[in-house]
């Protein structure tokens, strides 16, 4: 009796399995190029906003224990326009993080030689951006270098 049922069920299961596998492997129809495209709702784009530090950053350049020069920078943080006030409230935390990164950059030779080469400035910007983003939860798009000067002592 079981043999007779098995003889009926096994081919039926094989047929169902084959139909399922065929359906899974069948290529999906490509969209009709003549059909009207479905319009997507535009994503809201936040207006950019900028926070300029009210005072400059002063970074001493020290070699063999002697201060040879000072780097003077004016930095601007790019964020959403609605977040500028939040950044103003966190100015001291941001200034500390950015000054720490500027000191690291100076102590590793980032301001030696031709520090205005594009690749050198890009390295500086990337380091400043990471430092600023780690100091706050406020979204920061970029740290911009508004002014940069080296003054020998």
Identify whether the C-beta of residue 76 lies closer than 8 Å to the C-beta of residue 87: no
Q: Which has the minimum average pLDDT: 38-52, 83-97, 128-142?
A: 38-52
Confidence of residue 37 (pLDDT cuts 50, 70, 90): low
For range 45-61, the mean pLDDT: 94
Mean pLDDT of 20-31: 70
pLDDT of residue 28: 73
Predicted confidence (pLDDT) per residue in 107-139, tens digit:
999 999 999 999 999 999 999 999 999 999 999
What does pTM read for this prediction? 0.70
Going along the chain from its start, the domains and CATH numbers come out as 48-152 (3.30.479)
More confident: 19 or 152: 152
* Whole-number Cα distances in Å, 84 to 35, 107, 108, 118, 138: 45, 31, 32, 28, 9
């Amino acid at each position: 009796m079981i043999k007779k049922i098995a003889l009926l069920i096994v081919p039926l299961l094989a047929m169902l399995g084959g139909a399922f596998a065929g359906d899974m492997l069948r290529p999906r129809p490509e969209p009709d190029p003549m059909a009207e495209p479905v319009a997507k709702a535009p994503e809201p784009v936040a207006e950019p906003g900028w926070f300029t530090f009210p005072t400059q950053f002063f970074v001493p350049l020290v070699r063999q224990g002697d201060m040879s020069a000072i780097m003077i920078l004016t930095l601007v943080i790019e964020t959403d326009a609605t977040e500028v006030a939040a950044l103003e409230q966190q100015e001291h935390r941001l200034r500390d993080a950015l000054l720490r990164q500027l000191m690291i950059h100076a102590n590793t030779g980032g301001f030696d030689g031709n520090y205005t080469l594009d690749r050198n400035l890009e390295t500086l910007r990337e380091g400043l951006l990471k430092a600023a983003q780690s100091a706050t939860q406020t979204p920061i798009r970029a740290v911009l270098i508004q002014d940069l000067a080296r003054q020998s002592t």
